[in-house]
Structure 1
Amino acid sequence: MQLVSIITPHFNNLSCLKETLESVARQTYTCYEHIVIDDCSSAVDYRELQSLVDSFPNTTLICLSVNSGAAIARNRGIQQARGRFIAFVDADDLWEPSKLAKQLEVMNADNLDLCYSSYLVVNSKGEALRFRQAPSQVSYHSLLKCNEVGCLTAIYDTKRLGKVYMPEIRKRQDLALWLKLMKLGAKAGGITESLARYRVGEQSLSSNKCKVLPYQWAVYRECEKLSVSRASYYFAFYAWNGISRHYW
């Protein structure tokens, strides 16, 4: 069994974090380490946070001294990770018990470097709102048009790709990471079964969708170095997908 390093950024969301930790602890695949990175929470009792993390097996806490955003928090977790596989789940999201086992089985069988799955969008009460269907394959160009890799479902293989870090932008850093992996030649594949639940709430990392638009543009221009014309072309697809599929 290969070790999986699970990365969870956290900020002022202790109640949801407990449910996330519980969903990881219920995994049928047990060869994992879970790294929680607190991004300098302002409304959390750190003794309570440490006690909560200590109550779960194979789970460690890293506390940042300055609030730096999800990208830097996740990168600190990647830096600390000891596992061959890197997986992500935010502090307000949930995994199905078979998630790791099913994805690793597919990764080994299909020789994948990056694996992702479908997932449910749920409200704060856990009630299903939408189903996000994962495509069987993605490419660099398809991801520029629409990010169909849910961060809470993604796993990548460091043995084949090395440790790859997220660009240090406040939002859309997950898309920028998938693009980096694809440029490295990653073979990516999706699982149609829903293996996670993305919780929509006031504290969600992507709760204010309008604010992500400048970051999407920054991915095109600053991270991918696209010309204005090419960036505009892909941005138009992104905007259309957001409107037609409520994907923002």
Structure 2
Amino acid sequence: MVDCPISVIIPTYNRDKFLKRAIDSVCRQTWSCSEIIVVDDGSTDNTEKLLFHLAQESKIPLVVIRSKNQGVAAARNLGIKKAKYDYLAFLDSDDHWGRKKIEIQFQKFKEQNKFQISHTKERWFRRGVHLNQKRKHIPRHGDIFCHCLELCAVGASTVMLRKELLEQVGVFDEKMNCCEDYDLWLRVSASHEFLLIDAPLTIKEGGRKDQLSHIHRIGMDERRIYSIKKLLDTGELSPGRYKKAMAEFERKINVFAKGCLKHNRQELGYKYLKLLQEYKQQSCNFRDEKSPFTIKNDTNDCIKLARPFDSH
């Protein structure tokens, strides 16, 4: 068995029914990682006892970190901070991996070393029933910025990356109780291409009421608007990317505000429409000193251009 310099980070909260399966899927890889870091985010079920036994049985060093229920972003960040190795892989505790995930993904990563982040295809199940993915959910290769603007285009459990990448773009935003993965992959995709492993090496389970995507489903649009706003505010997008981000910012706000007005949340809806108007009107007719042109949106309001890093 080949040992790879990879730290696998598994955040968990009250998932004792699934956690062993996730850890076993890492331990049974054809190529081994160097450590497994499980961050128990204040579980109140049998997780602590289970991890004690699994740590004693595991042939791979299994590091258990306990934290006070601060959310999945903080849990992953704690794992990142403790990781000893140059490559990181994430696995949610209710998902699991095919046996060759590390072998195939790490080999491709080393062969195509211009990439700093890689993801795989997934197999989706809902309560044990296999689901076919819609076209928009099929992961993509290369420049996936536009795809990442639209939705969460990268499954956290599919990702392997170089640790140094997070030193460049930052880690998970701990202010976000959901969509923290959308936020990070969007920031990464603004400046880096993604290597896609064209094989379903990750198995994703869904359809349960205890999952964050269900608990926070009403607030997901608002969180994604927040993420795009942060990106627009960085001043680091190229003109083309700024225009695309602004267009999606406008689309998401209009959809969200319409829903607010429909469901008697007028104050919140108008708040976001006002925010949108502020962004559309800011720096009208601004000409970036590094750019020979300006961009106008559909209402002929001039969009402020940020410092370009590429021509996309």
Structure 1 Cα separation of the partners of residues 173 and 121 of structure 2: 24
In the superposition, the TM-score normalised over structure 1's length comes to 0.84
Measure how far apart 1:37 and its partner are: 0.3
1:214 aligned residue: 222
1:171-203 CA-to-partner distances (Å, cap 9, x unmatched) read 1111222233334x4331212210111111233
Q: Percent identity?
A: 23
Residues 45 and 146 of structure 1, relative CA distance in 2, 3 Å threshold: closer
Partners of 1:46 and 1:178 lie apart in 2 by 31
Cα distance in 2, alignment partners of residues 224 and 69 from structure 1? 25
Structure of larger gyration radius: 2
Cα distance in structure 2, aligned partners of 1:18 and 1:48: 8
Residues paired across the two proteins, number? 236
Q: 1:28 to 1:120 in 2, by over 3 A?
A: same
User: Are residues 60 and 189 of structure 1, via their aligned partners in 2, closer, same or farther at CA, if it must alter by over 3 Å?
Assistant: same
2:249 matched to 1:232?
Answer: yes
Whether 1:144 aligns to 2:149 is yes
- Contact persistence 1:118–1:193 (CA under 8 A): yes
Counterpart CA distance in 2 for 1:95 and 1:75 is: 21
Gap runs ≥5 in structure 2: 235-241, 257-312
How many Å separate the matches in 2 of 1:198 and 1:154? 13
1:101-157 per-position Cα deviation (integer Å, ceiling 9, x unaligned): 1111111112221100110111233x3123453212233333112322111101111
Q: Is 1:189 the counterpart of 2:191 in the alignment?
A: no
Q: CA deviation at 1:217?
A: 1.9
Q: What one-letter code is carried by the residue in structure 2 that aligns with 1:89?
A: L
Cα 1:187–1:231 shift into 2, 3 Å: closer
Instruction: Provide the rounded CA distance (Å) in 2 between the counterparts of 1:113 and 1:4.
Output: 14
The counterpart of 1:9, out of the listed 8, 11, 18, is: 11
TM-score, normalised to structure 2, is 0.68
Q: Does 1:155 align with 2:152?
A: no
Alignment correspondent of 1:244 = none
Q: Distance in 1 between matches of 2:161 and 2:17?
A: 28
| 2:65 partner letter | I
One-letter code of the match for 1:141? C
Task: Say whether 1:62 aligns with 2:79.
Answer: no
Partners of 2:255 and 2:123 in 1: CA distance: 21
Distance of 1:174 and 1:146 partners within structure 2: 10
Taking a change above 3 Å as real, the CA distance of residues 151 and 186 of structure 1, as seen in their structure-2 partners, is same
Q: CA RMSD in A?
A: 2.7
Is the Cα contact below 8 Å between 2:55 and 2:61 reproduced in 1?
A: no
CA gap 1:219/1:20 in 2 versus in 1, 3 angstroms: same
State the Cα deviation string for residues 42-101 of structure 1 (Å, max 9, x = none): 23362333223433232111000x210000000000000011111111010010011111
2:44 is aligned to 42
Match of 2:172 in 1: 166
**One-letter amino acid of the counterpart of residue 86, structure 1:** L
Which residue identity is paired with 1:34? I
Secondary structure of 1:77's partner? helix
> Do the aligned residues in 1 keep the contact of 2:6 with 2:35 (CA within 8 Å)?
yes
CA distance in 1, matches of 2:161, 2:41: 23
In structure 1, runs of 5+ residues without a counterpart are 240-248
2-side partners of 1:98 and 1:238: how far apart? 41
2:202 matches 1:199 = no
Distance 1:101 1:212, change over 3 A: same
Helix, strand or coil for the counterpart of 1:186? coil
- Asked if structure 1 preserves the Cα contact closer than 8 Å seen for 2:16 and 2:47, the reply is no
Which has the higher relative contact order, 1 or 2, with Cα contacts under 8 A spaced 6 or more apart? 1
Q: CA 1:206 to 1:160, structure 2 compared with 1: closer, same or farther past 3 Å?
A: closer
Match among 179, 182, 185 for residue 175 of structure 1: 182
- Residues in 2 aligned to 1:53 and 1:78: alpha-carbon distance in whole angstroms: 19
Partner of 2:75: 73
